[in-house]
Structure 1
Amino acid sequence: MSTALNSMKRRKRVGSDTLLFEREGHVAVITLNRPAQRNAINQEMRRTLMDCLQRVREDGDVRAAILTGAGGTFSAGADLKERASGGGGRRHDNAPASVIEADLSAQWSTMKFEKPLIAAIDGYCLAGGMELALVCDIRICTPEAQFGLPEITRGFFPGGGGPQRLARSIPQSIAMELILTGDRIDAETALRAGIVSRMVPAEDLMETAMKIATRIAGHAPLAVRAAKEVALAAMDETFEQSMRLGGALRWIVGQTDDAKEGPRAFVEERDPRYQGR
């Protein structure tokens, strides 16, 4: 574990031992914490994670968040032992497939999370674990990271937004090969494909993620959220629609106290003190 994470004062353990929640300044760190199971995502972890993300979303003092995994693994995906035993919440007699797939993993893939979310990935990042990483705005990894959507090899397919997000963010042929073969790729391949933006040594992973998050958290929060909203809108809407949204948000952000503080701090040759208003 890096010195950056070791130096962090733990503020709260949320819900259960399946998830850890920590804070340093304006940055929250959420750690998937089932290392003996390679951080396989069971129902308890899903519920706790959704609750934790909602807490981060509502906490005005948190401006960015990091998502990572304990024990040298991000997440190997859904807990298949739980699913095989019928404890995963997916056995619904006579229910249509659309209902069965509308579980918590799908909920987090469509959750509107306005604050920047960074995935710090080591080891396995597979199936639902990869889908969770794809929800994040920025992804960094170690050379030991492995990525894949192997659901197709187990008789089902990724239902947490993985195919949709991959197809929108990387070249179609690469995305389709990953989705349809279920094969894994290594960190170098993920970096070349654009699935991650950086690859760093394992000992530097959390420190690098914290530097990125702290850098973002130092900016005006409302401007950061608006920039993220416009960038994401550009993926779903026409260029003209996203430009109109950008114009509206630019006017709104321009009326805030932080929009005045930035130029004032520049003139006074000091660091800005943004308040998120």
Structure 2
Amino acid sequence: MTSEVTVAIDGAVMTVTIDRPEQRNAMTLAAAEGIAAALTRLDDDPQLRVAVLTGSGGTFCAGTDLKRFLAGEKAHVAGRGFGGLVEAPPRKPLIAAVEGWALGGGFELVLACDLVVAGRSARFGLPEAKRGLIARAGGAVRLPRRLPRAIALELLLTGDPLSAERAAHHGLVNRVVEDGTALDAARELATAVAANAPLAVAAAKALAVDSVDWPEAELFARQAAYTEPVFASADAQEGARAFAERRPPQWRGR
């Protein structure tokens, strides 16, 4: 990892931290490369089941580092996009642990995650319209899929932020916790995910994401490619056997 991103492993859970607190974790190319490398490791390592993405120093991410941007640097990784994430999220689940501000590209990182845990004072915003820009790292296209259309447009057109409580009310945030505890709560959630069968978890995520625009009449036929391998897996047999024998399952990922 770079000095701008740290990675910690605890069992099957990876924690990826943007570590530029003096710059409110504003995104740079080095940080984006660090995140991309961590997510590649997440998907490639069978011992890892889920990751948490967070920022240090009480801020999630304030978006692009504008000083670096003005100097010609782009915080993009080929094939992964802004922040090493937004255009190619990992196959395995990714949880955002948000304290403080998630602004611009920082909010777009959150929108690329699967689950969100936020401190009570966290704020989410896409202020690009205030700067003559548009949220092109996923904000303008993902936000209307995650929030009611009118609420999404309010954020996009005014550039004003959304509170954690209101975000949770509209289903964008899974859990709102006391300030300073978002990372612990996200790790707790990650541990619950990691306890389940990895094939089933990965297939459930893929199916939920890919089926969004499938025609209603084709849903069951098209889901078979995702569900049949899971039902035919050794882990499916192990899950049923462990339940019958009243013991924890021993997943093998196959």
For 1:170-185, what aligned pairs fall within 5 Å after superposition? Answer: 170-185=147-162
Deviation at 1:21, TM superposition (A): 0.4
- Within the candidate set 45, 51, 56, 2:42 is matched to 56
How far apart in 2 are the matches of 1:140 and 1:263? Answer: 31
- Secondary structure (helix, strand or coil) at the match of 1:110 reads coil
The equivalent of 1:136 in structure 2 is 113
How far apart in 1 are the matches of 2:233 and 2:95? Answer: 26
Residues 106, 161 of structure 1: 8 Å contact kept: no
The equivalent of 2:29 in structure 1 is 43
For 1:140-151, what aligned pairs fall within 5 Å after superposition? Answer: 140-151=117-128
How far apart in 2 are the matches of 1:108 and 1:115? Answer: 13
For residues 175-213 of structure 1, the C-alpha deviation after alignment (integer angstroms, 9 at most, x for no partner) is: 011111111122222112222111001243222111111
The equivalent of 2:134 in structure 1 is 157
Find out whether 1:260 has 2:246 as its counterpart: no
* Larger CA deviation: 239-248 vs 175-184: 239-248
Find out whether 1:33 has 2:10 as its counterpart: no
How far apart in 2 are the matches of 1:122 and 1:242? Answer: 38
Q: What percent of counterpart residues are identical? A: 39
How far apart in 2 are the matches of 1:270 and 1:206? Answer: 30
The equivalent of 1:65 in structure 2 is 51
CA 1:274–1:27 in 2, change beyond 3 Å: closer, same or farther? same
Find out whether 1:20 has 2:6 as its counterpart: yes
CA 1:224–1:165 in 2, change beyond 3 Å: closer, same or farther? same
Q: How many residues align?
A: 253
- Secondary structure (helix, strand or coil) at the match of 1:108 reads coil
- Secondary structure (helix, strand or coil) at the match of 2:41 reads helix
How far apart in 1 are the matches of 2:111 and 2:61? Answer: 12
Q: Which runs of 5+ in 1 are unaligned?
A: 1-13, 91-101
- Within the candidate set 113, 116, 137, 2:90 is matched to 113
CA 1:112–1:146 in 2, change beyond 3 Å: closer, same or farther? closer
The equivalent of 1:227 in structure 2 is 204
How far apart in 2 are the matches of 1:42 and 1:112? Answer: 18
Residues 77, 129 of structure 1: 8 Å contact kept: yes
Provide the TM-score with structure 2 as the length reference: 0.94
